Amino acid sequence: MSEPMLTIKNLTKTYQDSPEQPKILADLNLTVDREEFLCILGPSGCGKTTLLRCIAGFENFEGEILVNGVSRKEPGSDRIMVFQTFEQLFPWKTVEGNITWPLKKTGMTDKTERHRCAMEALAKVKLADYAHYYPHQLSGGMKQRVAIARALALKSEIILMDEPFAALDALTRRELQNELLTLSAAEHRTILFVTHNIQEAVILGTRNIVLQKGGKIIFDEKNTLPKPSTPSSPGFAEVWQRMRDAIYANENAE
Amino acid sequence: MKTSEKASGKTAEHLARIIFLLAVLGIWEYVARARLLGPRSELIFPSLEAIGRAFLRNFSKGYAGNSLWIYIGNSMKLLLTGLLIGNGLAFLLSGIAAVNHTFYSIYNLVISVCDLLPGVALLPVVIVIFGVKSGVIVFLVIHAVLWPMSRSILDGFMAVPMIYVEAGKNIGLRGVGLLFGIYLPASIAYIVSGLKVGWARAWRGLISAEMIFGIASCPGIGLFINQMRTNMNNAEMYATLVVIIIIGVIVQYGILTPIEKNTVKKWGMAR
Ligand SMILES: Nc1ncnc2c1ncn2[C@@H]1O[C@H](COP(=O)(O)OP(=O)(O)O)[C@@H](O)[C@H]1O
Ligand SMILES: [Mg+2]
Average pLDDT in the B219-231 region? 89
Whether residue B2 is contained in a domain is answered as yes
CB atoms within 10 A of CB A210: 26
Average pLDDT in the A45-67 region? 94
A167-212 pLDDT, tens digit each? 899 999 999 999 999 999 899 899 999 999 999 999 999 999 999 8
Whether residue B271 is contained in a domain is answered as no
Same domain, A45 and A117: no
Average pLDDT in the A80-105 region? 96
Whether residue B105 is contained in a domain is answered as yes
Tell me which residue of A34, A32, A40 sits closest to A7, measured CA to CA.
A32
Which atom of ligand 1 lies closest to the CA of A44? 23
CA distance B184 to B182: 6
Q: What is the pLDDT of residue A19?
A: 64
Same domain, A119 and A211: no
CA distances from B29 to B44, B57, B167 (A): 12, 20, 62
Answer yes or no: is the C-beta of A13 below 6 A from any ligand 1 atom: no
Same domain, A168 and A54: yes
Residue B36 pLDDT exceeds 70: yes
| A to B CB pairs, distance under 8 Å | 60
- In the structure, what pLDDT confidence band is assigned to residue B49 with cuts at 50, 70 and 90? very high
Q: Are strands A37-41 and A62-67 parallel, antiparallel or unpaired?
A: unpaired
| Interface touch A92/B267, C-beta < 8 Å | yes
Same domain, A71 and A90: no
Same domain, A92 and A211: no
**Percent of chain B whose pLDDT exceeds 90:** 66
Residue A20 pLDDT exceeds 90: no
Q: What is the CATH number of the domain that holds B103?
A: 1.10.3720.10
CA distance A90 to A199: 31
Among protein residues, the one with the nearest Cα to ligand 1's atom 18 is A49
CA distances from B213 to B45, B136, B240, B249 (A): 27, 10, 18, 25
- In the structure, what pLDDT confidence band is assigned to residue B212 with cuts at 50, 70 and 90? confident
Same domain, B98 and B24: no
- Best probe of the B interface among A90, A93, A139, A155, by most B CBs < 10 A, is A90
Same domain, B84 and B191: yes
Same domain, B124 and B218: yes
Chain A residue numbers with beta carbons less than 8 Å from the beta carbon of B172 are 75-77, 105-106
Residue numbers of the domain that contains A200: 1-78+157-254
The residues, any chain, with a CB within 8 Å of residue A150's CB and separated by 6 or more, are A80, A89, A98, A99, A102, A121
Residue B4 pLDDT exceeds 80: no
Whether residue B164 is contained in a domain is answered as yes
Same domain, B14 and B35: yes
Whether residue B123 is contained in a domain is answered as yes
Same domain, B62 and B170: yes
Average pLDDT in the B23-29 region? 93
Mean pLDDT across chain B, nearest whole number?
90
- Provide the edge-to-edge strand list for the sheet that holds A6-14: A23-32, A6-14, A62-67, A70-71
Average pLDDT in the B24-47 region? 87
CA of B256 vs chain A CAs: smallest distance (Å):
18
- In the structure, what pLDDT confidence band is assigned to residue A87 with cuts at 50, 70 and 90? very high
Whether residue B145 is contained in a domain is answered as yes
Chain B residue numbers with beta carbons less than 8 Å from the beta carbon of A79 are 170
Mutate to test the pocket of ligand 1, among A18, A28, A196 (most ligand atoms within 8 A of CB): A18
Q: Which of A113, A136, A155 is the last residue of a domain?
A: A155
Same domain, A26 and A128: no
Answer yes or no: is the C-beta of A15 below 6 A from any ligand 1 atom: yes
Average pLDDT in the A98-113 region? 96
- Highest mean pLDDT: which range of A220-229, B121-130, B159-168: B159-168
Average pLDDT in the B19-28 region? 94
CA of A225 vs chain B CAs: smallest distance (Å):
33
Same domain, A168 and A63: yes
Average pLDDT in the B5-16 region? 84
Whether residue B214 is contained in a domain is answered as yes
Residue numbers of the domain that contains B234: 52-265
CA distances from A53 to A103, B151, B263, B268 (A): 22, 32, 31, 28
Total domain count for chain A? 2
Q: What is the CATH number of the domain that holds A185?
A: 3.40.50.300
Residues from A contacting B (CB-CB < 8 Å) are 56-58, 75-77, 79-81, 83, 85, 87-88, 90-92, 101-102, 105-106, 134-137, 154
Same domain, A90 and A208: no
Q: Which of A155, A171, A199 is the last residue of a domain?
A: A155
Out of A87, A137, A154, closest to residue B161 by CB: A87
Greatest C-alpha distance within chain A: 57
Total domain count for chain B? 2
Same domain, B36 and B63: no
Residue B261 pLDDT exceeds 60: yes
Same domain, B84 and B125: yes
Out of A83, A105, A137, closest to residue B172 by CB: A105
Ligand 2 centroid to A83 CA: how many Å?
10
Q: What is the pLDDT of residue B1?
A: 47
Supply the pTM of this predicted model: 0.88
Q: Which of A130, A155, A180 is the last residue of a domain?
A: A155
Same domain, B29 and B57: no
Average pLDDT in the B81-95 region? 95
Q: DSSP state, A86?
A: G
Q: What is the pLDDT of residue B34?
A: 87
Chain B residue numbers with beta carbons less than 8 Å from the beta carbon of A146 are none
